[in-house]
Amino acid sequence: MAIERTLSIIKPDAVAKNVIGDIIRRFEENGLEVIGTRMTHLSAAEAGRFYAVHAGRPFYNDLCAFMSSGPVLAMVLEGKNAVLLNRQLMGATNPKEAEAGTIRAEHADTIDANAVHGSDSAENAAIEIAFFFGDLDLHSRL
Ligand code: IDP
Ligand code: MG
């Protein structure tokens, strides 16, 4: 299994619920290391650029409005198989379909307010990490 990096975002709903610590604990307990963090409040335009891959989808405007509705915590996770492992810990996009014990099953209310973002491939992870972080912001302990 390759060592990978992936981007995680704790979305505005989970920040508002004060469950940042619970979410990061799940990453750490499953062998992922947090190598960079940044709390920010995206503008709608910034959220639109981050989710440009979804431009034109029916939920795009609501997604951009939601992602800019409050502060988020972006972080880079590093570890074995980090992209897929993070997706497994997150659970399905729709929390109603998320496996019990996953972050979305525990903390998400709706498909819009679904607690976390996670990169879906190593290629997209590199693009998404560069959206929030520069090389000097990342501190690998490998
Ligand atoms: P993901 O976050 O699990 O990778 P994506 O398909 O990449 O899911 O969609 C990005 C985000 O857009 C989702 O997390 C969710 O908040 C929102 N979204 C996706 N599909 C729908 C939908 O059918 N209705 C409303 N929002 C959606
Ligand atoms: Mg996605």
Q: How far is CA 48 from the centre of its chain?
A: 15
53 lines ligand 1 (CB under 6 A): no
pLDDT in tens, 36-94: 999 999 999 999 999 999 999 999 999 999 999 999 999 999 999 999 999 999 999 99
- The residues annotated as belonging to the active site are 117
Ligand number with the minimum distance to the CA of 66: 1
Q: Please tell me the distance between residue 119's alpha carbon and the centre of ligand 2 in angstroms.
A: 6
Q: Is the pTM of this model over 0.95?
A: yes
Q: Which long-range contacts (CB under 8 A, 24 or more apart) does 30-34 make?
A: 30/85, 30/89, 31/79, 31/80, 31/85, 32/77, 32/78, 32/79, 32/82, 32/85, 32/86, 33/77, 33/78, 33/79, 33/140, 33/141, 34/75, 34/76, 34/77
pLDDT in tens, 23-34: 999 999 999 999
